[in-house]
Amino acid sequence: MALASILGAIGTTPSVWLDGMVAARGLQGRILAKLDYLNPGFSKKDRAALGIIRAARASGALVPGQTVVELTSGNMGTGLAIVCGQMGHPFVAVMSRGNSAERARMMAALGAEVVLVDQAPGGVPGQVSGADLDRVEAEAQRLTRARRAFRADQFRHPGNAGAHFDTTGPELWADSEGTLTAFADFAGSGGTYAGCVRALKAHDPALRGYLVEPEGAAVLAGADLHVPGHPIQGGGYGMKDLALLAEAPVDGYLSVTGDQARDAARALAREAGIFAGFSSGANLAAALQLLEGPERGGVVAIIICDSGLKYLSTDLWE
Instruction: Answer yes or no: are the C-beta atoms of 31 and 38 closer than 8 Å.
Output: no
Tell me the catalytic residues.
45, 279
Compute how many other C-beta atoms are within 10 angstroms of the C-beta atom of residue 82: 26
pLDDT of 92 reads 98
Check residue 8 and give its pLDDT: 98
Burial class (CB in 10 A: 0-12, 13-18, 19+), 4: exposed
When computed from its CA atoms, the radius of gyration of the chain, rounded to whole angstroms, is 18
Q: Residue 252's pLDDT is what?
A: 98
What's the pLDDT score for residue 69?
Answer: 98
Number of Cβ atoms within 10 Å of the Cβ of 154: 26
Task: Report the chain's terminal Cα–Cα distance, integer Å.
Answer: 39
Please report the pLDDT score of residue 253 as a whole number: 97
pLDDT of residue 127: 78
CATH number of 6-43+159-317: 3.40.50.1100
pLDDT the model gives residue 135:
96
Say if 6-43+159-317 and 45-151 have the same CATH topology: yes
Q: How far apart are CA 259 and CA 273, in angstroms?
A: 20
Return the domain boundaries, the chain. 6-43+159-317, 45-151
- How far is residue 317 from each of residues 182, 224, 230, 254, 308, measured CA to CA in Å? 30, 30, 16, 25, 8
The Cα–Cα gap between 291 and 288 comes to 5
Tell me the C-alpha distance between 231 and 223, whole Å.
19
Sequence-distant (≥ 6) Cβ neighbours of residue 162 within 8 angstroms = 51, 55, 195
CATH of domain 45-151: 3.40.50.1100
**In degrees to the nearest 10, what's the CA dihedral of 188, 160, 211, 73?**
-10
Query: For each successive 10 residues of the chain (318 residues), what is the average pLDDT?
Result: 96 98 98 98 98 98 98 94 98 93 94 96 82 93 98 97 98 98 96 98 98 92 79 76 94 96 97 97 98 98 96 89
Amino acid at 24: A
Task: Give the CB-side neighbour count of residue 287, counting CA atoms within 13 A.
Answer: 36
**b/e map 268-282, b = 16+ CB within 10 Å:** bbeebebbbbbbbbb
